[in-house]
Amino acid sequence: MTDTTPWRPASGPPAGAGPARVPATPAPASPAAPHGSAGGRPSADAPADGRGVRVAARARAARREPAAGPGPVREDPPAGTSGAAPAPLGRFLAKAAAVTAGLTAAGAVFGLFRDQTIAHLFGAGHDSDAFLIAWTVPEMASTLLIEDAMALLMVPAFSQALARRAAARAGLTRQAARAQDPVRLLVGATLPRLTVFLAAIASLLVLAAPLVVAVLAPGLPDPELAVECTRMTALTVLSFGIAGYFSAALRAHRSFVPPAAIYVSYNVGIIGTMIALHAVWGVRAAAAGVAAGGVLMVLVQLPAFIRNVGFGPPRAKGAPRSQRDRDRPTLIAFGLIAPVIFFAVFRQSQVLVERFLAASLPPGAISHLNYAQKVAQMPMVLSLMICTVTFPVVAQAMAGGEREKARRRVEQDLALASLAVLVGSALVIGYAPQIIQVLFERGAFTHRDTLATASVMRVYALGLLGHCLVGALSRPFFSTARPTWFPALAMGAGLLVNIVAGAFAVRWWGTYGIAAANAAGISTTAALLLTGLGSRIVAIQVRRVALSIGRLSVAAVGACGTGWIAGPMIPDPLLSAALGCLLVPAMFGACGMAIRALEITALPAQIAQMTQRFRNAR
């Protein structure tokens, strides 16, 4: 762990010291100091000879660790205490969520500043359209290699390896434990291959950039600028893949600060490069900034990865062949990675569909869609922070057979995420013109662009709840040892709805039809995942969850209508939007109280409880 918490899991406490204090995690501290650690001094309750240390270590392991396998691992009591009660997991999650929220909000602020800079320097025309076509590559890479596929594959894999590490270290010297460490074996077997594979894909994209642009935007009048930008953004395939791998490993180790900081560094790289080079390179400076930001995403996590995870050998030297075969990962097997890959590809293909359909519309259509989507999805991104923090907890509970614990965690995540995203949706719909005017209307971005973007954003916002539910519901499906194909099939069904509806609607309603098709497709996927989770993975009470979301939606409609009416009453857009940030949540809460929505009536007590947990964790 990094300094996100006042304690961290250890490979073994120093000799003579009390047990390490850790939160509930699949990587608990080794129960005994192995012979040779901490200068080779024996622990206080063991004989002085090396054989006695190993015997005592095995005895302590029998008392404190599971027999074998990746089942739930109990933690040691805090040093200096006589009881066996572990440090409450809620305190750790409260602090992790708070830290993640702060850095995610900072990343969102820098992301807005990035989009404001692009709008100010390049407006909403041919140059910005060309860059956004090139930006499709890193957007797809981000979903596959950071947000979805890599996290859904590697967080459970590292959780399983951490559990095996805890069960296998008793009686081993530090050198032997290091050589046979399942975590280091996992890194050694996957990271080099992944790097070579992603470097080959990035090189191929650089060479095939003209073909990529022709496929993504066949109606683009002058594709040469988009081709040049695509060649630079293609480099993010390698940097995003390594950054996503580091993020998954660190989150499994309960280190959340560096992964949460990656989008801050990414946007800083883009903004800095654009400001420095736009006068010389034009919009190409934005593409170069994307490449530079990808490198910063890796560098900001590298020290924590080396400290917490490390780089392992490609094989377990000196270990029996059967153990090497057991500890080496089988993630390359098609049956394991294919469901996750297809799910992530289908999900991100919504952007490809939008830009493909918008390429034949007048210049600026792609830019309007992009700005509307980026702002509209901010509530969804913020609402999924708690799911990001709790995903390792769900994976650990599923690995240990604690289905009831996983069910409670998933239902709580769905309630909190839905409440947050619906409040944000009401604000986005009610105050769309004011928000876009405050954020973007300056420089080359005109008032006409503001009105067009705001109208599209209101349509996009109708699908925010679906996007949030897909993000929250997909994680439990992929928390098991063997991923299921159901999320990919559900996402494929939603993508089909998006394609058919978009192809039909774009003829009559242009960008509005594209945005509406997106909302319809993602809502279809969310409904399928919600109904399918309870019968396949975690036995959530689907009817109760659906009724809960329905009550919150009613409250969101009331708050949205209030904002829509009140927004234009104040001429100044900044003041109007600021007051809307107070009015919309207040009306949401009032409507929720009026219809007796339990999620809202119980919210004050939950906030007080989370605040107390965070204070106790400090």
Question: What does pLDDT average to in each consecutive run of 10 residues of the chain (618 residues)?
Answer: 33 34 37 34 37 42 38 35 44 64 78 86 82 87 78 76 68 55 82 91 94 84 88 94 90 82 92 92 92 94 88 53 47 61 84 83 84 84 68 65 74 83 93 93 87 93 91 76 80 94 90 93 92 72 85 92 94 94 93 78 58 49
Tell the burial category of 471 from Cβ atoms under 10 Å away from its Cβ (0-12, 13-18, 19+): buried
pTM score, whole prediction = 0.62
One DSSP character per residue, 392-411 reads HHHHHHHHTT-HHHHHHHHH
Tell the burial category of 80 from Cβ atoms under 10 Å away from its Cβ (0-12, 13-18, 19+): exposed
pLDDT at 168: 62
Q: CB atoms < 10 A from the CB of 603, how many?
A: 17
pLDDT at 483: 65
Rounded to whole angstroms, the Cα distance separating 398 from 415 reads: 20
Angle formed at CA 259 by CA 256 and CA 265, multiple of 5 degrees: 135
Rounded to whole angstroms, the Cα distance separating 494 from 364 reads: 27
pLDDT at 406: 73
Angle formed at CA 309 by CA 338 and CA 389, multiple of 5 degrees: 65
pLDDT at 387: 66
pLDDT at 521: 94
pLDDT at 474: 81
pLDDT at 41: 34
Q: Where are the beta strands (DSSP E) in 31-127?
A: none
Tell the burial category of 585 from Cβ atoms under 10 Å away from its Cβ (0-12, 13-18, 19+): middle
Q: Which two tokens stand for residue 40?
A: 């080779």
Cα-trace Rg, the chain = 25
Q: Which two tokens stand for residue 289?
A: 């900034």
pLDDT at 404: 76
